Structure 1
Amino acid sequence: MDIFESFCRTCGNECLESLGIYEESVRALDKMVPIAEMLAACLPASLPPLDQSDDYPKQICRICVRKLSMAYEFSHQWLGAHSEFNVALKFEQRRKRSLASKTLSQPSTPSHQGKPTAVQLPTEAAEPVIPKIEPGVEPAPATVETRTSSEPRLGFKCGICKESFHTEKACQFHYKFSHKDL
């Protein structure tokens, strides 16, 4: 309908400089994104989806486009952080289960009531391997390893503690959270 031809679909105000919701794209997240796609991503699920053939206004004012871009970028930032936290939490849960199962599977040895015995170290102790960290350059947390038949799903290994992971991203999270003091 033509009764809404100069009104913004999002704020309801009359606007002289508007953009077509279904024809225009704007820059968001370093790429051009169609306005209709941004609206669909940011609108609540309780509203009916956008439909180009409905009778509602087909334009959006520049002020609302800026707000929409910020909301779209915020939504993607939130989803990205949420996804990263989920990976980190799953890793931590798996690590805790692994530690608990190792503790349960180790045979208990009788404790000695007497004086503790000293551990003999080799005379030429090897120097600990400390990763070289150059200013402004973060060390590589993961190394790709070939998959073995004994553990077909673990293809990434921490470069410091040699723990294995299913994905490179999980290995990077492990490095980020377990070796943050390095």
Structure 2
Amino acid sequence: MDIFESFCRTCGNECLESLGIYDESVQTLDKMVPIAEMLASCLPTSLPPLDPTDDYPKQICRICVKKLSMAYEFSQQWLGAHSEFNVALKFEQRRKRSLASKSQSRSQSQSRPVKDEELPTETTDAVHLKIEPGVVTAPATAEIRTRCNSDLGFKCAICNESFHTERACKFHFQFSHKDL
């Protein structure tokens, strides 16, 4: 409807300089994000979804765009941190299960004699970090030693676990290989 032609969809004020909700994108988080996408991700799910064919205003004022950008950045930051905490918790649970499994197998092996054919015959390879000439690296900086694989994202150089982001891989290293 034309009665809302100059009103902001988010604050309801009349505005002279506005942006089209369905036509414009805004620079946020180092990329261009459509305004409609930012609104859809920040609005409560109890509201009906945005519809370009409805009768509500189709524009947003610049003040509301700034507020929306901040809310969108906060939301994305929270989701990223939440995802990384989930990865860390998953590895901690896996580490605890592994420790419990090892202690259980130790207690079982101590209760019965071990036969020669049960002894392990394979040896594991040591982890070697690449050291550039003239560059001194301490074990604490080994988390930077990740390998990028285009299909799997980032891989831990120690345990070969795969991650979607380098930040998640570094978090994994600090959490899972803190003794190195």
Could you list the runs of 5+ residues in structure 1 that have no partner in the other structure?
A: 110-128, 145-155
CA shift for structure 1 position 173: 3.3
Q: Contact 2:25 / 2:34 at 8 angstroms: preserved in 1?
A: yes
Mapped contact 1:142–1:171 kept (Cα < 8 A): no
Against the structure 1 CA distance between its residues 141 and 92, is the aligned structure 2 distance closer, same or farther, given a 3 Å change threshold?
farther
2:40 aligns with 40
Q: Deviations over 1:39-97 (max 9, x none)?
A: 11111110000000000000000000000011111111111111111001000000000
CA 95–171 in structure 1, closer or farther in 2 if over 3 Å, else same: farther
What amino acid sits opposite 2:104 in the alignment?
L
Find the counterpart in structure 2 of residue 177 from structure 1.
Answer: 175
- In the TM superposition, what whole-angstrom CA distance separates every residue of 1:143-179 from its partner, at most 9, and x where no partner exists? 66xxxxxxxxxxx5654xxxx3541467643321244
Partner of 2:110: 108
Task: Please say if 1:7 is aligned against 2:12.
Answer: no
Question: Is 1:133 the equivalent of 2:128?
Answer: no
Is the CA contact 2:87–2:172 (under 8 Å) kept in the aligned structure 1?
no
- Identity within the alignment, %: 72
Deviation by residue 1:87-143 (Cα, 9 ceiling, x = unmatched) = 01000000000000100011236xxxxxxxxxxxxxxxxxxx998427xx9434556
Q: TM-score, normalised by structure 1?
A: 0.70
- Kindly provide the CA deviation profile for residues 7-58 of structure 1, in whole angstroms up to 9, marking residues without a partner as x: 1000111111111101111101111111111111111110000000000000
Length, aligned pairs only: 148
The AA in structure 2 aligned to 1:63 is I
The aligned runs of 1:114-125 (5 Å cut-off) are none
Paired letter, 2:110:
S
Partners of 2:70 and 2:48 lie apart in 1 by: 22
Q: What is aligned with 1:59?
A: 59
Moved over 2 A (4+): 129-134, 137-144, 156-159, 168-174, 178-182
Residue in structure 1 matched with residue 78 of structure 2 by the alignment: 78
Larger Rg: 1
CA RMSD of aligned residues (A): 3.0
Aligned partners of 1:93 and 1:81: how far apart in 2?
Answer: 18
Contact 1:141 / 1:171 at 8 angstroms: preserved in 2?
no
Gaps of at least 5 residues in structure 2 are 112-127, 148-154
Q: TM-score, normalised by structure 2?
A: 0.71
Distance 1:158 1:23 in 2: 44
- What is the identity, as a one-letter code, of the residue corresponding to 1:71? A
